[in-house]
Chains A and B, each alone.
Chain A
Amino acid sequence: MAAHRCGLFLVIILIFSSLAHPSSCDTLEKADGNVGEKQGVSDAHREVNADGSVTGEDLNERQWQSTDVELDRSDGTEDSEPFRPAPAKDEFQEELVIRPLHSGDIYASFQFRTLWDTDFLQEGQKVSHYRLFPKSLGQVLSKFSVRELHISFTQGFWRTMQWGQPFIPSPPGAELWVWFHHTVSDVDGNWKELTNVLSGIFCASLNFIDLTNTVQPSASFKPLGLGNATDHRFLRYATLPREIVCTENLTPWKKLLPCGSKAGLAVLMKSEKLFHSSFHSQAVHIRPVCQDDQCTNKAWELRQTLNVVFDLYTSGQGKREWSLFKMFSRTLTEACPLASSSKVYVDITDNPEGELFELSPATSLLSQAVVLGDRRTYSVYDLTRAETFGQLRSLNLLLRWKGESGDMLRPLLHAERYVAGFGLQTGEIHTVIYNNHPYRAFPVLLMDSVPWYLQLYIHTLTVTSKSRDNKPSYIHYQPAKDRHRPHLLEMLIQLPPHSMTEVTVQFERALLKWTEYTPDPNHGFYVGSSVVSALVPSMVAMNTNFTKDQPLFSSFVPVKEESSYFVRVYTEPLLVNLPTPDFSMPYNVICLTCTVVAVGYGSFYNLLTRTFQVDEPSPPLAKRLANLVRRIRGVPLLT
């Protein structure tokens, strides 16, 4: 404990000194790190890092007051510690990030994290006492021995070129990928049951996931949590690009939150507003994580995210301003009482001088985070503090644009896809991947899962960058089995700097049985998005240190190295038309075909069983009758 105090004391001194000499904060930050390491006290170390990341290099006029707040908060939790009935095994955090996009849209990203240091997979020990963690999911985890579960429901398509990278990407429709524990023997059986159970939990058509749309990617979907399992036999990945997301999926999702939609940030989730948006994505991610730097304690993390993009520019009659009330038709009045932290972040990176827009109520708290290879500045509203709500007892963030925003930096990695060709016989899938980095080449993993009724011809696969052949260094291809398994194509492609790489592969469209078509067959069949996963070279050094208090949006994907960050880009799903039979004709076709076969059979039968004979024409009927009568009468017959 003395060491803790000592560390804390040091931190305070260092922070005060950094406030006094803001220009020297870089060196101090390093010094902090050193001190922290020397002390070897993880707790203090974390605080230092959090503050270190908060204090950036360009401190001009603003006062950085986050330090006090952080300290206040940490003091507060320490104070409240003795009042808790038991050592807190679980913890809940909520967070809303609002980022004004260059296109004039507003990106709102909710994240709710529940951490619980229990083990669902421990044998012989049934977890039965649930507090913050939803029991329905916990039971599913232990019943099906799930190591990691990621499920997302998305309506709309994330436009990377206009909106930049999302915090957590997701493809249109439903996506589900699960790592099972390595003790599971019947993975396919578990997967089938799990999808049906999840289908019930989320009121979604996940029960349509079967072997025909499930793949086992070999490299694209590594576990995001603890443990580097590499045996992809325990991984199952499926998408339902046709799935439509609506209120009935949101309600069960909200019910998983400890406060429901009664308090905290979740009060903003009114479905009529959330679904009146350009993009809506809700997800649940469950994974085991480390609780601290040394990973002595493991915990299960449930992360519920909801990302919405509102198009307020067109609906606001050309006036560029938004507020929480305008977006959600609600304002914030309190934090969720069960949450240990509840914050609203507004991205003000593009507005360092306040000349671009005006944010009210103004907040004195600023925070910096390195996220997606970029250092961003956020205004922070801490809902656990009463001052945040002001005298009205409600927080209605209002942002009013003053000028036109500049052009957005093009995202470093971007991909799109389309079907080329005409007619219903063959076609070609084009996937175009852009590397917009001016001078760095980097490899990407491209994963395609194509349904069996589009027969891919892998020998027609071409990868061209800068009009030159670019041979993938790794190809994993699993051809489809009719009505059993989709195609899976995974490739590692090196993208040259500032280039466009085009991947094409030809396919043939199959004619299906008439019962295999969807109710509107001429609408076409959906092919799920391609997944491009890459470690993109970062402009700024990524924060590889594990810190517990870093904002949720920057801590989802574990950062392994400073120079690059992980990005996953989903392309558009494809809509492909197949040739259709005439659905009104089954009887006719059966009759006509059988007739032709019968004509063949009949004529052969005739020739085989009969012999040639001289035709003796039989006498006409009248004559025969007359003869019959004559025979009875005993008179000579007519000839």
Chain B
Amino acid sequence: MAAPLTLLIIVAVTIRAVLFRSSLAELISERVEVVSPLNAWKRVVEGLALLDLGVSPYSGDVFHETPLVIYLFHFVVDYAEVVFMIADGITAVALYLSIQTYNKNVFRKQKYALESDRYPADCLELLRSPKEMFYIPLKVAMFYLLNPFTILSCVAKSTCGLNNAIIALFILCTLKGSALLSGIFLALATYQSIYPLTLFAPALLFLLQRLYIPVNLRRSSFWFFTLQYVFIYVGSLVVITGLSFFLLGSWDFIPSVYGFIFSVPDLTPNIGLFWYFFAEMFEHFRLFFICVFQINVFFYTIPLSIKLKEHPVFLIFMQIAIISIFKSYPTVGDVALYMAFLPAWSHLYRFLRNIFLVSCVLLACSALFPVLWHLWIYAGSANSNFYYAITLLFNFGQILLVSDYFYAYLRREHHLTHGLYLKKEDGSEATLVLK
């Protein structure tokens, strides 16, 4: 399996290298869909220039990267393209390995269940065969590396690629069962963009499950492990933040990075829901709606963790997708990360209700973003509503996609316990509904 992966990486790097050398690179790096004020490469360069001038990069409102990123690029700014390609490679390999591990787990569990005869007889066609699972890790890596969204993000040198790499490493470490590394990478991801905080719950659930510790609030082993993981996570977060403080000598970065993420002062258009909403918001409702929208991102963690406590990996996917839809400054790089997981759920395909509609919506929106942007900003023949309408539709499509996968996953689990071909009491074919 190493050979196809190597080939894939070579192809991906070639595409990126060609695009970096082409005149498209500059155009792509200006696109609002690809870069946001949080992760634009132009702003990293600006931060470095400010450091060179002896001005704190956080004294202005242009630079919103974390101090570690600026110190990373302080040394490797000349090799930035290589860094971003490596980051993409790391993400792909990490996703590859984690899905491989996950598939092994899934297969093992399926085997035990089969042996203990827990599946209804008509469910055999729902079971996953090693043959079809064999290429899934490679497909995941391919979905990430060859996704146009990832390529655009990488060519624009959006630091979103670095965040994705950290999250992918976190997933890998979690699935490999290393609580320490998982905690550290989760802390790093949180430090980079706050929102991955919600991945704490699935990681903990997975690690507990792996150690066969039931989620039982009265069990001391549960509390022992939970506190251990919390300690690792909070400890690394404190260390990383403290390190940033010592690198910079001030706490300026806290309001400039996290305050910026939470209070959404920059209303530059992007593919998210925030920008136009808060540009048009009545001033006295602003705080209320900012709270509502930010709580919205974090809130789903609790019910989802309860519902999916047996399936933490799917929970990770759901969380990443929700973050990328509802975060304050989303870019296509975030979308690409959760889309990479779609091949891992290929067995859900038969239960998806509107995948055709959703893919059409997403494709059409991706094509219309640059068109309507041009009409608004350059041609002046459209106004902001056009672009806004497309962001609405794009997010609507994403929501449909995610909820569809969620539905399909739940339905498959239902069939696995109750049988695939359900009969009514009178023996006629039954339809399954949510009640």
Known: A425-B377, A607-B434. A511 touches B267 (CB 8 A): yes
- Chain B 51-67 interface residues, beta-carbon cutoff 8 Å to A: 53, 55, 59-62
- Check A613–B432 contact: CB distance below 8 A: yes
B352 on interface, CB distance cutoff 8 Å:
no
| Complex Cα gap A452–B266 (Å) | 11
Chain A residues, Cβ within 8 Å of B49: 458-459
Chain B residues, Cβ within 8 Å of A458: 46, 49-50, 53
- Check B268–A596 contact: CB distance below 8 A: no
| Complex Cα gap A584–B155 (Å) | 38
B250 on interface, CB distance cutoff 8 Å:
no
| Complex Cα gap A582–B276 (Å) | 10
Chain B residues, Cβ within 8 Å of A483: 265
- Interface residue tally of chain B, by bracket? 35 or more
Q: How far is the CB of B317 from chain A (nearest CB, A)?
A: 14
- Check B62–A601 contact: CB distance below 8 A: no
- Check A459–B45 contact: CB distance below 8 A: yes
B125 on interface, CB distance cutoff 8 Å:
no
B332 on interface, CB distance cutoff 8 Å:
no
| Complex Cα gap A443–B283 (Å) | 47
A481 on interface, CB distance cutoff 8 Å:
yes
Most buried by A among B50, B377, B418, B424: B377
Chain B residues, Cβ within 8 Å of A600: 325-326, 395, 399, 403
Q: How far is the CB of B372 from chain A (nearest CB, A)?
A: 13
B278 on interface, CB distance cutoff 8 Å:
yes
Pick from A246-254, A382-390, A431-439, A472-480 the stretch touching chain B. Answer: A472-480
Chain A residues, Cβ within 8 Å of B424: 614, 616
Q: How far is the CB of A596 from chain B (nearest CB, A)?
A: 5
Chain B residues, Cβ within 8 Å of A455: 61-62
- Check A593–B61 contact: CB distance below 8 A: no
Residue of A nearest to B276 (CB): A589
Q: How far is the CB of A520 from chain B (nearest CB, A)?
A: 16
| Pick from B268, B276, B434: contact of A581, CB under 8 Å | B276
- Check B435–A611 contact: CB distance below 8 A: yes
A597 on interface, CB distance cutoff 8 Å:
yes
B431 on interface, CB distance cutoff 8 Å:
yes
- Chain B 291-340 interface residues, beta-carbon cutoff 8 Å to A: 293, 296, 300, 303-304, 306-307, 325-326
Chain B residues, Cβ within 8 Å of A603: 399-400, 403
- Interface residue tally of chain A, by bracket? 35 or more
Chain A residues, Cβ within 8 Å of B306: 608
- Chain B 5-32 interface residues, beta-carbon cutoff 8 Å to A: 30, 32
Q: How far is the CB of B43 from chain A (nearest CB, A)?
A: 8
| Complex Cα gap A459–B50 (Å) | 8
- Check A423–B384 contact: CB distance below 8 A: no
Chain A residues, Cβ within 8 Å of B176: none
Residue of B nearest to A513 (CB): B279
- Chain B 373-408 interface residues, beta-carbon cutoff 8 Å to A: 376-378, 383-385, 388, 392, 395-396, 399-400, 403, 406-407
| Pick from B304, B325, B376: contact of A579, CB under 8 Å | B376
Residue of B nearest to A593 (CB): B277
Known: A479-B50, A604-B300. A592 touches B392 (CB 8 A): yes
Q: How far is the CB of A485 from chain B (nearest CB, A)?
A: 9
- How many residue pairs link A and B with beta carbons under 8 A? The number is 166
Q: How far is the CB of A19 from chain B (nearest CB, A)?
A: 61
Residue of B nearest to A455 (CB): B62
- Check A511–B279 contact: CB distance below 8 A: yes
Q: How far is the CB of B420 from chain A (nearest CB, A)?
A: 12
Known: A515-B283, A582-B384, A589-B280. A596 touches B434 (CB 8 A): no
| Complex Cα gap A137–B149 (Å) | 63
- Check A457–B42 contact: CB distance below 8 A: yes
A638 on interface, CB distance cutoff 8 Å:
no
| Complex Cα gap A405–B400 (Å) | 78
| Complex Cα gap A514–B388 (Å) | 15
- Check B296–A601 contact: CB distance below 8 A: yes
Chain A residues, Cβ within 8 Å of B275: 511
B348 on interface, CB distance cutoff 8 Å:
no
| Complex Cα gap A424–B268 (Å) | 11
A599 on interface, CB distance cutoff 8 Å:
yes
Q: How far is the CB of A341 from chain B (nearest CB, A)?
A: 50
A422 on interface, CB distance cutoff 8 Å:
yes
- Check A612–B59 contact: CB distance below 8 A: no
Q: How far is the CB of B296 from chain A (nearest CB, A)?
A: 6
- Check B62–A457 contact: CB distance below 8 A: yes
- Check A512–B279 contact: CB distance below 8 A: yes
| Complex Cα gap A589–B430 (Å) | 42
Chain A residues, Cβ within 8 Å of B293: 597
| Complex Cα gap A496–B113 (Å) | 84
Residue of A nearest to B42 (CB): A457
Most buried by A among B280, B300, B414: B280
| Pick from A422, A511, A582: contact of B268, CB under 8 Å | A511
- Check B268–A510 contact: CB distance below 8 A: yes
- Chain B 338-378 interface residues, beta-carbon cutoff 8 Å to A: 376-378
A580 on interface, CB distance cutoff 8 Å:
yes
A352 on interface, CB distance cutoff 8 Å:
no
| Complex Cα gap A508–B385 (Å) | 21
- Check B430–A614 contact: CB distance below 8 A: yes
A482 on interface, CB distance cutoff 8 Å:
yes
B79 on interface, CB distance cutoff 8 Å:
no
Contact with A along B245-282 (1 / 0, CB 8 A): 00000000000000000000111110001011111111
Chain B residues, Cβ within 8 Å of A426: 30
Chain B residues, Cβ within 8 Å of A456: 62
Residue of A nearest to B385 (CB): A582
- Check A481–B280 contact: CB distance below 8 A: no
| Pick from A457, A482, A515, A612: contact of B434, CB under 8 Å | A612
Chain B residues, Cβ within 8 Å of A361: none
Known: A458-B53, A612-B410, A613-B435. A604 touches B403 (CB 8 A): yes
- Check B392–A579 contact: CB distance below 8 A: no
- Check A581–B403 contact: CB distance below 8 A: no
Chain A residues, Cβ within 8 Å of B385: 582, 585
Chain A residues, Cβ within 8 Å of B276: 581, 589, 593
Known: A482-B61, A511-B279, A593-B276. A422 touches B378 (CB 8 A): yes
- Check B392–A480 contact: CB distance below 8 A: no
- Check A589–B30 contact: CB distance below 8 A: no
Residue of A nearest to B40 (CB): A508
- Check B384–A579 contact: CB distance below 8 A: yes
| Complex Cα gap A456–B49 (Å) | 12
The contact sample of 19 A-B pairs, CB cut-off 8 A, is: A422-B378, A425-B32, A452-B61, A459-B45, A479-B55, A479-B61, A479-B62, A510-B268, A511-B269, A513-B283, A580-B383, A580-B384, A585-B280, A586-B280, A596-B399, A597-B273, A607-B406, A612-B433, A614-B424
> Given A581-B384, A593-B392, A601-B296, 7 more contacts at CB 8 Å?
A424-B377, A458-B53, A459-B45, A477-B53, A603-B403, A608-B304, A615-B432
CB within 8 Å of B: which residues of A? Answer: 422-426, 452, 455-459, 475, 477-483, 487, 508, 510-515, 579-582, 585-586, 589-590, 592-593, 596-597, 599-601, 603-604, 606-616
Interface pairs A-B: 6 shortest CB-CB: A479-B60, A459-B49, A603-B403, A610-B434, A614-B430, A589-B280
